[in-house]
Amino acid sequence: MAMNIRRMQLADLNPADYNPRKDFREEPLLELSESIRQSGVLQPICVRPKDEGFEIVYGERRYWAAAMAGLKFIPALIRELSDAEAEDAAITENLQREDAKPREEAAAYNKAIQSGRHTIESLVCKFGKSEAYIRSRLKLCELIDALAGMLDKEEISVGVATEIAKYPADIQQEVYNDHFAEGCYNSWKTAR
């Protein structure tokens, strides 16, 4: 299959709403932007024709960093993909990143299963993770907002969050109030 890589105008590209990565922290984005300013974009992003322009399938961080660096063009691999193929490609690309956050990973696995295109078993094969690992990540989708926010900010460990996520929301709220909220009587914030 021939690779169709072109320099594309940033103005012609639109982020997709199915990207599993939602949180682009400013500091790493600034670092990437500075790297791009110095060396350019080293790995093309992937786009697909959509409506009047192109939709970013993966590489959205590079897109934003290139914009911050003042670039007008970015190298892009253009692929004809259905909605399902584009979503699967985005999930695959983003889950293979070292810096994928646990809840982004959980949301991506959950979305893949909800789409009906994947089962836990097919995800095990696709990503080389154990079934226990994928199931524990999926539990993170059940965290109450207060604990989910703490996990996102790395104020609690994945292990603690996974353990608490096994319980219903009312129990999680009680645990949060008793052990994680401001002024709680028996803090577990440093628990592992």
Residues annotated catalytic, as ranges: 60
Instruction: For residue 11, count CB atoms less than 10 angstroms from its CB and return exposed for 0-12, middle for 13-18, buried for 19 or more.
Output: exposed
CA 127 to chain centre: 15
CB 32 within 8 A of CB 43: no
**Integer Rg of the chain from CA:** 19
CB 139 within 8 A of CB 165: yes
CB 25 within 8 A of CB 60: no
Question: What are the tokens at 82?
Answer: 């259905």
